[in-house]
Amino acid sequence: MKNLMIAFVLLCTLGTMNSVLAQDTNKREITNVAGDLYRFQNNFHFSVFLVTEEGVLVTDPVNSEAAIWLRDEIKSRFNKPIKYLVYSHHHADHVSGGEVFKQAGATVIAHENALWALESDSVPTAMPDLTFKENMTLYLGGRTVDLQYLGRNHSDNSIVVLFPDEQALFAVDFVNVRRLPYRDIGRSFFPDYFDSYERLAALEFTTVIPGHGPIGSKQEALDHGQYLGELHDQVKAGKAAGHSVDELKASIKMENYKNWSQYDEWLGLNIEGMYGYLE
């Protein structure tokens, strides 16, 4: 009897461990943001979708497997057709797998610069059916969705998706909430980058939903721009004073942001990236 009990406890423990491991290595989840707007998580990537009477608008599919999972979940939970697929920007880790929604009947929309970028990077996804330059308004099931181009920042084709009824904005990779910009800030466009936060400030929303990390307030979205501006000024001043990139990595602390996630991991890389841009 005692042996049986031990075996049972052991089995339960192993079962729990397995499910925790499965969640950590492959986390897929749908959560409600507000009203009919939902957030989709696939491990470290997030997108959003809006459910209306007439159908569903989805954004970044992340990859084919994730898109198939999301398509099936939307079907079983809401039983509405997927009408639109909107790409935040052309990077493969966000917009691979678009063919899943296109085959389901969705019209694919992106910024016009994404056409060339998707092709030249050979991103495994569906090409856009519709593109725009400055902004585009979609009407679906009595709901309005505004797509806005804020200029070049993290890419030359990053757009934001505004959901006026939910006062929510989907913004990917050029906005994080209390989290440093990714590693060396990538192939970004400075100084245009800074202008996009001014345009962001002019939009009406209260909640920002990034492509990575937690949801936040409009102010927290703007704080990200503030961080980049301060980083730029400090690196520029240090460089003008004749300091090397290694000296600046040792001296620039960005103290106001030490509680942000990835501070220890990415501050040095952020400084390197900004230094490289200023070269």
Where does 132-204 have alpha helices with state H? 192-202
User: Quick one: tokens of 137?
Assistant: 């308004």
Compute the least distance from the CB of residue 48 to Zn ion, in Å. 16
Compute the least distance from the CB of residue 6 to Zn ion, in Å. 50
Q: Give the number of other Cβ atoms within 10 Å of residue 258's Cβ.
A: 10
Compute the least distance from the CB of residue 148 to Zn ion, in Å. 17
> Judged by CB under 5 A, which stretch of 2-10, 90-98, 135-143, 223-231 contacts Zn ion?
90-98
Q: Give the number of other Cβ atoms within 10 Å of residue 121's Cβ.
A: 11
> Judged by CB under 5 A, which stretch of 19-27, 68-76, 87-95, 113-121 contacts Zn ion?
87-95
Residue whose beta carbon is closest to Zn ion? 91
173 versus 272: smaller Cβ distance to Zn ion: 173
Tokens 């990835």 correspond to: 262
Q: Which of 71, 83, 91, 143 binds Zn ion (CB under 5 A)?
A: 91
Compute the least distance from the CB of residue 158 to Zn ion, in Å. 8
Compute the least distance from the CB of residue 94 to Zn ion, in Å. 6
146 versus 173: smaller Cβ distance to Zn ion: 173
Per-residue DSSP letters for 121-148?
Answer: TT-SSPPPSEEESSEEEEEETTEEEEEE
36 versus 266: smaller Cβ distance to Zn ion: 266
The answer to whether 152 contacts Zn ion (rule: CB under 5 A) is no
Compute the least distance from the CB of residue 172 to Zn ion, in Å. 7
At position 10, the amino acid (one-letter code) is: L
Say if residue 17 is exposed, middle or buried (CB neighbours under 10 Å; 0-12, 13-18, 19+): exposed
175 versus 245: smaller Cβ distance to Zn ion: 175
188 versus 207: smaller Cβ distance to Zn ion: 188
74 versus 185: smaller Cβ distance to Zn ion: 185
* Of residues 168-207, those binding Zn ion (CB under 5 A): 173
Non-local CB neighbours of 144 within 8 Å, separated by 6+ positions: 137, 138, 164, 165
User: Quick one: tokens of 239?
Assistant: 């460089």
From 85, 81, 65, 171, select the one nearest 127 (Cα to Cα): 85
Compute the least distance from the CB of residue 62 to Zn ion, in Å. 12
Compute how many residues bind Zn ion; rule: CB under 5 A: 2
209 versus 248: smaller Cβ distance to Zn ion: 209
Q: Give the number of other Cβ atoms within 10 Å of residue 53's Cβ.
A: 10
Tell me the C-alpha to C-alpha distance, in Å, between residue 266 and each of 214, 234, 238, 239.
Answer: 17, 16, 19, 20
Q: How far apart are CA 262 and CA 210, in angstroms?
A: 15
> Judged by CB under 5 A, which stretch of 121-129, 165-173, 192-200, 229-237 contacts Zn ion?
165-173
Site residues (vs Zn ion, CB under 5 A): 91, 173
